């Protein structure tokens, strides 16, 4: 059975004290999770180790980084290696967020290499995809997202897919308050699953966790998570308040 995941992407928010408070608040209100319903928290790099120490005794709560280097080590000033992220306590890394693609010029080739480096170093990958409003208005979103997934992930071996989570995040819905309708999310998630089924077989596709991201909040999470192919969410803004993040986790528990 595929896992359901609620993952919080803090982006460039929260200093150490604020991050400590936020994680403490989340842990305080956390329902009983299990192997199939887990929570992931992605703070900035410098919070990773501290956040990990806060959650390490709580089952089914994991830490993620928001990015990692393509390289393993060496003279790459300002970069953070996947091995360091793993050593600091993280289990996951978000790769290919649209903000990284757009503002930091991360190409498909770079993202494919980052995915390999992360997997080689024992991290699981939350791989993001999603189209702009322009692409959505042109009606070519299925082809666009399919191309992103093929370029970033389809060089992987079947056995590596167990360590991949896909996050569909339409750019026009990120931080805009404009959520995709549950029908739009379901249609794209079903398409993504069919693309994986064609490449890797139905069993692998059925086990793949596909998250929705983009203005997901407590008031719309239940409807989104009720869709057959939506296996949870990657949450930005609403992950910065414990009460809101917990509301979304509750929606997963009841989905």
Candidates 235, 242, 248, 252; binder of ligand PGA (CB under 6 A) is 235
Residue 170 contacts by C-beta under 8 Å, 6 or more apart in sequence?
130, 131, 136, 141, 180, 184, 188, 214
- Between 83 and 239, whose beta carbon lies closer to ligand PGA? 239
CA atoms within 13 A on the CB side of 243: 1
Integer Cα distance of 255 and 88 in angstroms:
32
Integer Cα distance of 15 and 46 in angstroms:
9
Candidates 64, 208, 234, 249; binder of ligand PGA (CB under 6 A) is 234
Candidates 39, 47, 236, 252; binder of ligand PGA (CB under 6 A) is 236
Asked whether the beta carbons of 185 and 227 are under 8 A apart, the reply is: yes
Work out whether 42 is an interface residue with ligand PGA (CB under 6 A). Answer: no
Candidate list 106, 169, 189, 244, residue with the active-site label? 169
CA atoms within 13 A on the CB side of 110: 13
Kindly list the distances between the CA atom of residue 123 and the CA atoms of 54, 85, 120, in Å, as whole numbers in the listed order: 19, 8, 8
Integer Cα distance of 126 and 64 in angstroms:
9
Candidates 216, 227, 230, 255; binder of ligand PGA (CB under 6 A) is 216
- Between 122 and 175, whose beta carbon lies closer to ligand PGA? 175
CA angle 191, 195, 201 (to 5 degrees): 125
223 is annotated as an active-site residue: no
Asked whether the beta carbons of 97 and 9 are under 8 A apart, the reply is: yes
Work out whether 43 is an interface residue with ligand PGA (CB under 6 A). Answer: no
Site for ligand PGA in 174-203 (CB under 6 A): 174-175
60 is annotated as an active-site residue: no
Site for ligand PGA in 3-22 (CB under 6 A): 9
Candidates 43, 44, 96, 213; binder of ligand PGA (CB under 6 A) is 213
Work out whether 169 is an interface residue with ligand PGA (CB under 6 A). Answer: yes
Work out whether 244 is an interface residue with ligand PGA (CB under 6 A). Answer: no
- Between 66 and 186, whose beta carbon lies closer to ligand PGA? 66
Work out whether 232 is an interface residue with ligand PGA (CB under 6 A). Answer: no
Integer Cα distance of 165 and 31 in angstroms:
22
Catalytic residues: 97, 169
Contact set with ligand PGA (CB under 6 A): 9, 169, 174-175, 213-216, 234-238
């Amino acid at each position: 059975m595929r896992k359901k995941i609620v993952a919080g992407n803090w982006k460039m928010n929260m200093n150490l004290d604020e991050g400590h408070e936020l994680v403490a608040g989340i842990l305080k209100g956390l329902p009983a999770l299990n192997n199939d319903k887990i929570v992931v928290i992605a703070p900035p790099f410098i919070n990773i180790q501290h956040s990990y120490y806060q959650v390490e005794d709580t089952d089914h709560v994991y830490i993620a980084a928001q990015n990692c280097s393509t390289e393993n080590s060496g003279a790459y000033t300002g970069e953070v290696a996947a091995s360091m992220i793993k050593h600091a306590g993280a289990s996951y890394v978000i790769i290919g967020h649209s903000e990284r693609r757009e503002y930091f010029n991360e190409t498909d080739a770079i993202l494919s290499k980052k995915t390999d480096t992360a997997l080689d170093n024992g991290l699981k990958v939350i791989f993001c995809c999603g189209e702009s409003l322009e692409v959505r208005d042109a009606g070519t979103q299925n082809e666009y997202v399919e191309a992103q997934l093929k370029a970033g992930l389809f060089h992987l071996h079947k056995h590596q897919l167990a360590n991949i989570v896909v996050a569909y995040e339409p750019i026009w819905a990120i931080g805009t308050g404009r959520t995709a309708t549950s029908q739009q999310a379901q249609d794209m998630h079903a398409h993504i699953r069919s693309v994986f089924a064609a490449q890797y077989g139905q069993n692998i596709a059925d086990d793949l966790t596909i998250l929705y991201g983009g203005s997901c909040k407590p008031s719309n999470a239940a409807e989104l998570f009720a869709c057959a192919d939506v296996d949870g969410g990657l949450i930005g803004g609403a992950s910065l308040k414990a009460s809101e993040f917990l509301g979304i986790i509750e929606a997963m528990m009841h989905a």
